[in-house]
Structure 1
Amino acid sequence: MAASEHVVPQWKRDEVDHLISMIKKSKMVGLVDVGGVGAKQLQGIRDSLRGSAVLRMARNTLMIRAIENSKVKGIDDLSGHVIGPVALIFSDQDPFSLSKFLRENKTKAPAKGGQVAPNDIVVPAMNTGVAPGPFISELAALKIPARVKTGVIHITDDTVVAKTGEVISNALAQMLGRLGIEPMELQLKLVAVYTDGAVFTSDAFEVDLKGLLEEVVLGHQLAVNLSVNICYPTADTIAMIITRADLDAKTLAINVGFFVPEMVRQFLVKADSEALALAAVLSGRNPEAVSPEILARFRTPVAVAATAPAVSASKKKKPEKEEEKKEEGAPSIGSLFG
């Protein structure tokens, strides 16, 4: 008698065909870890994904067969990540956007004994709806203040029952469940994705966008500083380089005494400051060596023009003509550099 052939149930064939269809028409196919996620929480996550992605639960063997039979170029490596409690997720988003969306759309879940509190767990003041009895002693054992009011037990004050990082006891987990408090946060985590002909694991797209932006800003600042300091002109730094070069040239001209007409005011200010400094030294040795007018300037600074000697109108014209002749042949700041 011929060995009987194994017949694959029709529902399995239909499921594989459906998964293959989803794989072929999706820009991105991923695997998400659904370990520890209950049916209620999974439905909440499905609702939050509506319009962004489609989540599909199936047996691992069927998911592997669908991936391999889809004949999509480069997707075979995704089957190697179908391990443990995972589900397929289909989306037209890029992996970075989808991963960010999943991180930001967490769902609440009841606590279990032995779990670690993700945040401070607070039991708010409330009407428990429970009649007087052993329940009030259970609350007291957990240091939750309560009293009987209008025939039911009321929690009188908001109470922190577990701080961030503390282990939740079985008794506390049961109490939170009875009070309808779900302190745990669940999220789907991308394990691996297929997109643009290649498979990527979670470490490739779990990016700290805020930290990345800070690094980009810092890199730009360093690049600008380098460009200005080595005088490497770019569209972003040419104005800063020119401004710095102009300032350096003027500083050099002042320090070496290289006179240029457009800096006459700066030269006069420097000369006046040096003259006052010299007068201060002389007056310290011999007060009579310095005129009263100069001594007065130590106490009341005035403009350079106010200290210039008065000249008659008849004598003023000739120096102006001579100054004009000198300025015609005077060098510019640019001549400092050839």
Structure 2
Amino acid sequence: MMEMRKSLRGRGVRVRMSRNRLLRRAIEAVAAKRPGLEKLADAFRKEQLALLSGDGSPFTISSLLKAAETMAPARGGEVASADIVVEKGATPFPAGPIVGEFQQAGFPAAIEKGQIVIRKRHVAVAEGDTISAQVAAALTKLEIYPIAMGMELLGAYDGQNFYPPEILDIDYDEFHSQLQSAAVGAFNLAMHTRWFSSATMVPLLVKARTEALAVAKAAVWPSEETISALLAEAHRQMLGVASHAGDGAD
């Protein structure tokens, strides 16, 4: 926790901790002048709470909290927040009694060529199940640390609006991908409807020029742009006729 507080402080986020009852009273006292702030007190839980303040937006602070999370070994008794998987492959352990510990924990462990291996991919603990002490010890030996250590954001207030955690939980990679997809879709629609803008002006003019040249060539319309292509086509047709007639003309 100290390392996390230090990391957040370096990014302009201050962490204040006190008794939950005192924090609630402080928020409720200020909420009279700041409508919406009372929702922050409504999000309180029985666990130890902290108040974070900073100049960044709630979304920025939410991202900082996620980045500050670390993974810790299980001790037993925790509930798995996601499937805990032991992958197939060799372990760093040579043949020895530790293979029995893995097997007792339910892992498909065996000895091959003097090395302990996991013979197939194994879900050690399913999401929502409790991690036993035996499984926790085996996971730690394999350096599988399934417990996320950090601060859980219960809500945020920016001076005007309250943001519940589900709104702040944004997958920025997915969001960026959606923005790119939307931009491509909007560009294609604008091109299809011939909507002129700074982004479509040049490609629309290029497309119009290409189509106009194609029509002019099909109609055999001589112009500065088409004359070379028309003469080349006429020459090609002349050679074809001459060859077919067998007069030997070049």
After TM superposition, the score normalised by the length of structure 1 is 0.56
Report the CA distance between 1:264 and its aligned residue.
1.0
| Aligned residues of 1:55 and 1:88 also touching (Cα < 8 A) | yes
How many angstroms apart in 2 are the aligned matches of 1:68 and 1:123? 57
Question: Offset of 1:252 from its aligned partner?
Answer: 0.7
Aligned CA distance change for structure 1 residues 90 and 161 (closer, same or farther; 3 Å): farther
Question: Can you list the C-alpha shifts for 1:308-330, whole angstroms capped at 9, x where unaligned?
Answer: xxxxxxxxxxxxxxxxxxxxxxx
Q: Give the Cα–Cα distance (whole angstroms) in 2 for the partners of residues 259 and 145 of structure 1.
A: 82
| Aligned ranges 1:20-35 → 2 under 5 Å | none
- Among 99, 102, 106, the alignment partner of 1:142 is 102
Which residue of the partner structure matches residue 13 of structure 1? none
- Contact 1:106 1:185 (C-alpha < 8 Å) held by counterparts: no
TM-aligned CA deviation for residue 137 of structure 1 = 4.2
> What displacement does 1:105 show?
2.1
> Pairwise CA RMSD of aligned residues?
3.4
Of the three residues 223, 232, 249, the one matched with 1:269 is 232
In the superposition, relative to structure 1, how do residues 170 and 249 fare at CA in structure 2: closer, same or farther (>3 Å)? same
Name the structure 1 match of 2:25. Answer: 65
Query: 1:124 deviation in Å?
Result: 6.4
CA shift, 1:267, in A, is 0.6
Per-residue Cα deviation, 1:217-253 (whole angstroms, up to 9, x for no partner): 2222222222233222111221111111111111111
CA distance in 2, matches of 1:190, 1:115: 19
Cα deviation code 1:70-128 (max 9, x no counterpart): 2441212211111332432222221212222222222232312565464548996479x
Match among 186, 198, 202 for residue 239 of structure 1:
202
The residue that corresponds to 2:8 in the other structure is 49
In 2, Cα distance between the equivalents of 1:102 and 1:164? 31
Is 1:92 the counterpart of 2:55 in the alignment?
A: yes
Aligned partner of 1:313 in structure 2 is none
Query: Aligned partners of 1:208 and 1:88: how far apart in 2?
Result: 24
1:199 CA drift (Å): 0.6
* Structure 1 unmatched ranges of 5 or more: 1-41, 128-135, 147-155, 284-288, 294-306, 308-338
Q: What SS class does the counterpart of residue 253 from structure 1 fall into?
A: helix
1:109 corresponds to which of 69, 72, 75: 72
Kindly state the Cα deviation for residue 204 of structure 1 after the two structures are TM-superposed: 1.7
Corresponding residue for residue 183 of structure 1: 145
- Percentage of matched positions with identical amino acids: 21
CA distance in 2 between counterparts of 1:171 and 1:118 reads 14
Paired residues in the alignment total 228
Give 5+ residue unaligned stretches, structure 2: 104-108, 126-130
Residue 191 of structure 1 contacts residue 201 of structure 1 at CA under 8 Å; is this kept in 2?
yes
- In the TM superposition, residue 201 of structure 1 has moved relative to its aligned partner by 0.6
SS state at 2:71 partner:
strand
The structure-2 alpha-carbon separation of the partners of 1:159 and 1:265, relative to structure 1 and needing over 3 Å to count, comes to: same
> Counterpart in 2 of 1:249?
212
CA contact (8 A) 2:44 2:154 kept: no
- The change in CA–CA distance for 1:219 and 1:60 in structure 2 (over 3 A counts) is same
Partners of 2:142 and 2:212 in 1: how far apart? Answer: 75
Structure with bigger gyration radius: 1
What is the letter of the counterpart of residue 166 of structure 1? A
Report the more deviating stretch, 182-191 or 211-220: 182-191
Correspondence list, 1:123-142, <5 A: 125=92, 137=97, 140-142=100-102
Residue 81 (structure 1) aligned with residue 43 (structure 2): yes
Q: Which amino acid aligns with 1:237?
A: T
- Whether 1:292 aligns to 2:248 is yes
Deviation readout 1:185-239 (Å, 9 max, x if unpaired): 4132312100031111112221111111122222222222222332221112211
